Each structure stands twice: as structure tokens, then as C-alpha cells.
Structure 1
Amino acid sequence: MHIKRFKDAQPYEAPNHFGCHGLRLQGFEEGGPKNQWLGYSQFLPGGGAGPDSTPFEKVYVLLEGEMTVIIDGKETVLRRMDSCTIAPGEVRKIENRSNDTCKMLVVIPYPPEV
């Protein structure tokens, strides 16, 4: 078992994100998960990411607040405990259009070069 305390989570900069503070909860460390890593993203009002895509799928789990996910012009609002899977190569944009901070878990496989 590999335990990492929240107080020990390290910040990271996610490409093409704005108004966001990310913390790596698990991954990229000795004894951690071998297949994926887990991020905790806190988006300020007006914060978001994209539009962009990745060559691998990712999963979002909303813990607090709400996030608008835009794919192919279709907007979907995720709220507390909603989740979604973004497919490989799927172009998405996310926007926190609320006046509250959005807190979200992100599960992503390691890039092929890791």
C-alpha cells in the first residue's frame, strides 16, 4: 500500500489551464500507481482549460461546485459527484461559469514516454 497525505501533495502546472491550482495526489513517485496518476484541480470562478485533447482517455469526478464541459459544441454541466470520461483525441473545453470554486479529481494514464 502506498499512502500519500494531502499535506504532502505537490502542485503541478497543467498545460492550457487557467484559473486553476492542481495538486498531484498520486503518481510519478516511488511506490505509487503504475498505470495512472490522480490530480486534484481547484478552478476559480472563470477558470477552465482547453480547447485541447490528449491521446489517452481521462476521467473527471466533480467533488464541489460545477463545471461546464464543451465537446463538439454541446455543453454539459457537471455537478457534485457527477463524473465523465473524455475519450482519446476528443477535443474538450471546460469552464467554471459559477461564482464558486470547482473542485475536481482527474484520473489520467501516464504518457507513453513515462
Structure 2
Amino acid sequence: MLTRRFADAKPYDAPNHRGVVGLRLQGFEPGGPRNQWVGLSQFLPGGGAGPDSTPFEKVYVVLDGEMTVIADGVETVLGPLDSCTVAPHELREIVNRANRVCTMLVIIPYPPGHIS
């Protein structure tokens, strides 16, 4: 078992994101998860990501606040403990349209060729 403390989480920059601070909770370390990594994203009001797509699926879990997810022209608002899966190559945009910070877990597989 690998335990990581929140106080030790390191920030990371995500491409095509704005108004967000991302912290890596698990992943990319010896003894860590072998298939995916887990981040905690804190989006300011107006913050978001995309529109874009990736070649791998991802899972979003809103912990606090709300996040609007736009996929295939359909808008869905996620609130606390709501989640969604974004399919590989699915065009998506996320926007925090609320006036409070949205805190969200993000679970993403490792990129191809990554060896853990």
C-alpha cells in the first residue's frame, strides 16, 4: 500500500485548462497505481478546460461546488458526488459557471508507453 498525504501533493499544469490548480494525489511514483493517476482540480469561478478531446477516457467526480460538462452539444451540471465518464476522443468542455470554487477528482489512465 502506498499512502500519500494531501499536504505532500504536488501541483501540475494541465494543457488547455484555465482558472484551475491541479494537485496530483496518486500516480507516477514507485509503488503507486499501475493503471491510472488521480488528480484533485480546484476550478475558480469561470475556470474550465477545453474544448478538446484526448485519446483516453477520464472520470470526473465533483466533490464540492458544481461543474458544467459540455459533450456532444449537451450540457450537464454535476454537483457534489456526481460523476461522469468522458470517452476516448469525445469532444468535451468543462466550465465552472457558479460563483464558488469547484473541487473535482480526476482519474485518468497513464499515457501509452508509461511504465510504472
Q: Which amino acid aligns with 1:22?
A: G
What is the TM-score normalised by the length of structure 2?
A: 0.97
Which whole-Å CA distance do the structure 1 matches of 2:11 and 2:91 have between them?
Answer: 25
Q: Which runs of 5+ in 2 are unaligned?
A: none
Matched, 1:110 2:110: yes
Letter in 1 for 2:106: V
TM (normalized to structure 1)? Answer: 0.99
Following superposition, the deviation at residue 25 of structure 1 comes to 0.0
Whichever residue aligns with residue 46 of structure 1, its letter is G
1:75 corresponds in structure 2 to 75
1:16 aligns with 2:11: no
Structure 2 match to 1:46: 46
Cα offset, 1:14, TM superposition: 0.4
The whole-number CA distance in structure 2 between the counterparts of 1:56 and 1:72 is: 17
1:103 Cα offset (Å): 0.1
Deviation at 1:72, TM superposition (A): 1.6
Name the aligned partner's letter for residue 47 of structure 1. G
Question: 1:30: how far off?
Answer: 1.0
Aligned residues: 114
Provide the secondary structure at the position in 2 that maps to 1:7: helix
The alpha-carbon deviation at position 105 of structure 1 amounts to 0.1
**Residue in 2 that maps onto 1:37:** 37
Per-residue displacement from partner, 1:51-97 (whole Å, max 9, x unpaired)?
A: 01111100000000000000121100000000000000001000000
Deviation at 1:113, TM superposition (A): 2.7
Query: What code does the residue aligned with 1:64 have?
Result: D
1:25-67: CA deviation from partner (whole Å, max 9, x where unpaired): 0000111101000000000000000001111100000000000
Unaligned 5+ runs, structure 1: none
| Residue identity matched to 1:4 | R
